[in-house]
Amino acid sequence: MHVDNELSTEMVKWRHHLHQHPETGFNEYDTAAYVANALEQMGLEVHRGIGGTGLVASLAVGDGKGVIGLRADMDALAMTETAEGRAHVSRNAGCMHGCGHDGHMAMVLGAASILTRSRDFNGTVRFIFQPAEEHGRGANAMIKDGLFEHFPVDEIYGAHNIPGMPVGHIATRVGGIMASEDNFVIRIRGVGGHAARPQMAIDPLVVAAEIILALQTIVGRSVDPADSAVVSCTEIHSDGIRNAIPTNVEIKGDTRSYSPKVQTLLERRMRELCTGIASAHGASCEVEYTHEFVPTVNWPECTPVAVRAAQAVVGADNVDGNIAPMMISEDFGAFLKVVPGAFAFIGNGTGDATGGVPLHNSKYDFNDEILPIGARYFAEIIRTRLPA
C-alpha cells in the first residue's frame, strides 16, 4: 500500500490550512466546513452538526455488513503559538493546534481519499470528526446527539501523535492505555488582616500550603501501590496583597487514574484532608471535584486489529503491542464505553528532531512526515477488518 506524491502533498495542504485556522472546542465552524468540503470533493455525503460541530461521512463498498468508524478530533488549544519562521503559523490570536489535531484530521482525510479510490474492502467505513476533545466533552456530545443511533458502528478506532516516540513507530496495548482526568477546585476561607498582625487573622495561605503537601500523601499512603494515580496542584490564587493576609485562597489541579475505585478514593481522601486541615486552623473549606475524562480502555478483541494494521504499514519491528499506559487523557475513552474499539499512538519524532517538541508546548508542531503513515494505518484497519 502506497501514498502517492499527489496525496501526500494534499495532506500537507490540508494540515497547514487547518493549523493556520485553529478553533477551540465547539467553535470549530470553519474547521468543520473545510473538512466537510474536502470529504464532499471525494464524492462522500457529509452529515453536519452532530454534537455541535461534529460531522460524519460514510463510504459503503460491496455487500458486507460490517461497519467500522475512524475518528479524528478537531479542536485546538486556547494558547499562543510562538514558533518563529513557521510559514503555516496560527492566524487566530490566542489559539493554536498545540496537540496535533490538525494532523489527525489530515490523516483521516488521507485515509478517506485512499479508500474512496481503491474501494478494496467489503463493508462500510464511517469517517467521524469530533469536536471539543481537549476538555473531554465532544465525544459525549456526539453520543448524546445520537451518533451511534444514526450512524451505527461495530467498532471504532483512533490514534494520537506522540512526541518522544520515533517516526515510523506505532504503539498500543490491550486494556487501559490512557488515564481518567478529574479536576478539582479547593476554596479556603480564613480571616484576612494586616500582615504585621497575623494573630488577628486566620491565614488561608498557611492552610493552603499544608493542604498542597498533604494531598501528595494520597498516592503514597492511600492508593494501593499496584494501582496508578497522580494528584497535581497546578494553580493557586488569593485575594491578598503584599501587606495584607488574604481571606480567600483557591487551589486548582487535577487527578489521573485508571479505575473508578481509585477515582472514588482520590476524591474521598481529598475531601477528608482539606476539611480536616482547614478545621484545625479555624478556617473553612469546600472542594469542587468534577469528572472530565473517563479512562481510555482498549477492547481485547480490537487491539490485535490495530497491531496487525500497524505491522502492515511500518513493519513488525516498529510496532509495540504492549506499550506502558500513559497518564494523559483522551476523549476517545467515552466512545469505547459505548462500542468496541482501540486507540494507538503514532510516533511524531524525538529529541531535537522534527516533531520532538512536547504536546501543549507553544512551539509544538505536528510532523508532516507521519501524515502518510497515519493515513495508511487507518486505511489498513479497514482492509484488515473488512476484507474484500
Q: Is 149 helix (H, G, I), strand (E, B) or coil?
A: helix
Query: What are the DSSP calls for 248-282, one per residue?
Result: EEEEEEEEEESSHHHHHHHHHHHHHHHHHHHHHTT
Q: Is 95 helix (H, G, I), strand (E, B) or coil?
A: coil
H or E element in which residue 124 lies: strand 123-130
Cα 162 from chain centre: 11
Gap between the Cα atoms of 292 and 286, Å rounded:
19
Q: What are the grid coordinates assigned to 264, written together?
A: 472514588
The second-level CATH assignment, the architecture, of 180-293 is 2-Layer Sandwich (3.30)
Give the pLDDT confidence of 221-249 residue by residue, as tens digits: 999 999 999 999 999 999 999 999 999 99
* Interstrand relation of 319-320 and 170-171 (parallel, antiparallel or unpaired): parallel
Give pLDDT, residue 350: 97
Q: What is the helix, strand, coil percentage profile of the chain, to 5?
A: 35, 30, 35
Q: Give residue for cell 494540515.
A: 15
Gap between the Cα atoms of 50 and 53, Å rounded:
6
Q: In this structure, are residues 154 and 51 in contact, taking their beta carbons and an 8 Å threshold? A: no
For 202-229, what is the mean pLDDT? 97
Confidence of residue 1 (pLDDT cuts 50, 70, 90): low
Confidence of residue 353 (pLDDT cuts 50, 70, 90): confident
> Domain segments of the chain: what residues?
5-178+295-385, 180-293
Give the pLDDT confidence of 9-20 residue by residue, as tens digits: 999 999 999 999
Confidence of residue 84 (pLDDT cuts 50, 70, 90): confident
When the pLDDT of each residue in the chain is averaged and rounded to a whole number, the result is: 97
Calculate the dihedral angle through the C-alpha atoms of 375, 376, 381, 383, rounding to the nearest 10 degrees.
120
H or E element in which residue 320 lies: strand 319-320
Angle at 213 between CA 212 and CA 217, to 5 degrees: 115
Task: List the one residue out of 42, 38, 29, 200 whose CA is nearest residue 106.
Answer: 38
Gyration radius of the chain over CA positions: 23
Give pLDDT, residue 71: 98
Give the pLDDT confidence of 145-187 residue by residue, as tens digits: 999 999 999 999 999 999 999 999 999 999 999 999 999 999 9
Give the pLDDT confidence of 327-343 residue by residue, as tens digits: 999 999 999 999 999 99
The second-level CATH assignment, the architecture, of 5-178+295-385 is 3-Layer(aba) Sandwich (3.40)
Give pLDDT, residue 183: 97
Residue 319's DSSP bridge partners are 170
For 305-323, what is the mean pLDDT? 98
Q: Say if pTM beats, i.e. exceeds, 0.85.
A: yes
Q: What are the grid coordinates assigned to 224, written together?
A: 494501593
* Other residues' Cβ atoms within 10 Å of the Cβ of residue 184: 22
Q: In the predicted model, is pLDDT for residue 3 greater than 90?
A: no
Same topology, domains 5-178+295-385 and 180-293? Answer is: no
Q: In this structure, are residues 254 and 233 in contact, taking their beta carbons and an 8 Å threshold? A: no
Give pLDDT, residue 118: 97
Task: List the one residue out of 179, 14, 19 whose CA is nearest residue 99.
Answer: 19
Q: In the predicted model, is pLDDT for residue 28 greater than 70?
A: yes
Give pLDDT, residue 238: 98
E strands, 164-213, are 170-171, 175-178, 180-189, 193-194
Gap between the Cα atoms of 344 and 174, Å rounded:
10
